[in-house]
Amino acid sequence: MTVLAISLFVLIVLTLSWVDLVGRPRLAVGLALFAAAMGSLAVAQRTVHDQDDVLNYLDLYLALGSGDWTMVSALGGGMEFGLPLVLRAMYVLLGPLSVPAFLFWLTFVVTACAVLVYAWIISKTMGNKHFGLKLAFSVSFISFFAASHTSRQFLAGVSLLPLLFLPACMGRTIRITLISSILHTTSSLYVVLIQICRFWWLITPLLAGGLWAALNSYSVVDLVALDVPYLFQDKLTLLGLQDYANQDVSSVPELLRLGMLSGLVFISHRIWPDNLSAAARRFTYLGFLTFALLVDIPFVGNRLNHMLLNVAFGLIVLACLRQSVVSMRVAVLVGLGYQCRLLLQY
């Protein structure tokens, strides 16, 4: 079943990449959704361990189905009721589900939301030319594992995408802040960070303030003699393939992928200055810096990393390369190969 699902996944992505679907955006979106379903089906075949987060989501799903909303209070003090509403709607339509069936439907619903938002952003910011090829990025680089394992954070990241790629609008910002916050309460912090990234004169005091806080927390001698060696040791560990999390989810460490993404953003901006918004560029650089340099600040490095690598990665790569059809197709093939490897690992 896994091999068949992955084979269909590959076939659909290649069709989106090479078949001319000009004037047929609905067909392209339908194919992308079908590819998301095949990727979700492959993920649903993976082994589920006793400590797997999907079991907690399943318990919540079954409790909501029986009308018990008490478990929602454990999600951000009851403020994060976005995913419970989705799960309740799923239960009304699907009823009780086994673990594999629930894993499939949860992953598909979450990734389908991402695909629809990707399609909307692409049509708004990059036009419908080569729409199928552009949409192929959405499933080539999307993280099916993150969609099933960290569904609240994933959906919150998806809801924040318009702030990165669309022009500033007060009404849209307020709506997105509300939607993303009921999915994951820390989202309001990332709304602020994205808004700061729109203006270089706000980024500068942010970085200066971070440096000032670091220097005032430790003496310069302690910072250099004690923290820096441990910092480099921790980050060099991320570059090794022996790390358990990297073996479980990805063979390419997160720091390296963030560095590659930042490098691509930097180079493409020098070649095609208008391809990516200033907010998206600076947010990418900020994500790399916080993950590479911050030692123990809750949420910041981790959440930026999650959004950049699991949610926004394909859109950022697409925006960087959208002026070159050849580059886009090569990138899709690379992403497709990497995606297949991950799906087979699961």
Q: Tell me the DSSP string of 84-116.
A: HHHHHHHHHHH-S--HHHHHHHHHHHHHHHHHH
pLDDT for 116 equals 95
| pTM of this structure | 0.82
Helix boundaries (H) for the chain: 2-18, 25-44, 53-65, 82-94, 99-125, 131-140, 144-149, 151-165, 170-183, 187-197, 200-217, 220-222, 228-238, 244-249, 254-271, 278-293, 300-306, 313-321, 325-345
Nearest to 195 by CA among 183, 203, 186: 203
Q: How far apart are CA 123 and CA 32, in angstroms?
A: 15
pLDDT higher at 7 or 223: 7
Q: With 50 as the cut, is the pLDDT of residue 297 above it?
A: no
pLDDT for 88 equals 94
pLDDT in tens, 180-219: 989 988 888 888 888 888 876 566 666 665 555 555 554 4
CA atoms within 13 A on the CB side of 136: 29
Nearest to 190 by CA among 163, 214, 167, 217: 163
Between 15-19, 180-184, 276-280, 298-302, the lowest mean confidence (pLDDT) is in 298-302
pLDDT in tens, 309-335: 889 999 999 999 988 889 999 999 999
* Domain edges within the chain: 2-345
Q: How far apart are CA 226 and CA 230, in angstroms?
A: 7
Q: Report the pLDDT averaged over residues 109-129.
A: 91
pLDDT for 188 equals 83
Distance of CA 68 to the CA centre of its chain: 30
pLDDT in tens, 22-31: 778 889 999 9
Q: Report the pLDDT averaged over residues 236-258.
A: 50
The answer to whether 110 and 147 are in contact (CB under 8 A) is: yes
In this structure, the number of other CB atoms found within 10 A of the CB of residue 4 comes to 11
Q: Report the pLDDT averaged over residues 81-105.
A: 93
Between 83-92, 105-114, 270-279, the lowest mean confidence (pLDDT) is in 270-279
